[in-house]
Amino acid sequence: MDKSMYAIEVAQLTKIYGKGDTAVIAIADATFQVKPGELVAILGPSGSGKTTLLTSIGLINEPTHGKVVIDGAVVADEGWTPGLDLKRLRREKLGFIFQAHNLIPFLSAIENVMVALEINNMSRSEAKNRATELLTSLNLGHRLNNYPTALSGGEAQRVAIARALANKPKVILADEPTAALDTENGKNVMDLLKKLAVENHSAILVVTHDHRMVKGFDRIFQVSDGRIIDEETNGN
């Protein structure tokens, strides 16, 4: 496949905190690509550098060295690309799902999704239609007007997924999205992400420490002490 067809390209990505004797290498020389429609896991124990890798790809944590390309745009090459509007790129190209659903407590489910659309200048009526469509497709049509406190953990996480999908991002980044859920709900969320990767042709990169949750993923990268040490490909 031509490189321009990758949704995520990472080349020798390195993140170092501190300098000299106190320097800590959080990620070292990470290199991989993710295609549209692909579900990929970054698997490793706590403290292995998984989240640092995700936030560097997500335009939050500036890499010390290396290159990051999102949907064909070079966003980092030995530091952020000069003149790049990182906030705009995050809004337009990326969707984020976190361990905690991070829903706004005083907004209903539909309003939590609408916020993501309205900050991108979508009209309120269009945002309401889009949010309704998304939540209904995630079997939450009966929960549109419920506030986060009235939702189960699995329902709240599905609202968070709808919010991440709201602007039809090319890339979805999920940081331990099932850690706060029981096993059944966790597997349901991962199955949903797999379905969404295919249907929306989005590249989905999931950080997790739980081996049980990555069954059916297209590829799995094992991370240890900041380095990718192994790759598994489903069915290959």
Each residue's pLDDT, cut to its tens digit, for the chain (236 residues) gives: 444 589 999 999 999 999 888 899 999 999 999 999 999 999 988 888 899 999 999 999 999 999 999 999 999 999 999 998 998 888 889 999 888 888 999 999 999 999 999 988 899 999 999 999 999 988 899 999 999 999 998 899 899 999 998 888 889 999 988 888 888 888 888 888 888 888 888 899 999 988 888 888 999 999 998 899 888 776 54
For 221, other C-beta atoms within 10 Å of its C-beta total 21
Task: Please report where in the chains the tokens 């380095």 appear, as a residue.
Answer: 227
Measure the CA–CA gap between 95 and 97, rounded to whole angstroms: 7
Angle of helix 109-118 versus helix 124-137 axis, rounded to 10 = 130
Report pLDDT for 65. 96
**pLDDT at res. 98:** 86
Say how far apart CA 2 and CA 23 lie, in whole Å.
37
Using the 8-state DSSP alphabet, how is residue 81 labeled?
A: P
Confidence (pLDDT) at 235: 53
Strands 39-43, 65-70: pairing is unpaired
Q: Three-class SS of residue 230?
A: strand
User: What pLDDT was estimated at residue 193?
Assistant: 86
Number of continuous H segments (helices) and E segments (strands) in the chain = 6, 10
Look at domain 3-233 and name its CATH class.
alpha beta
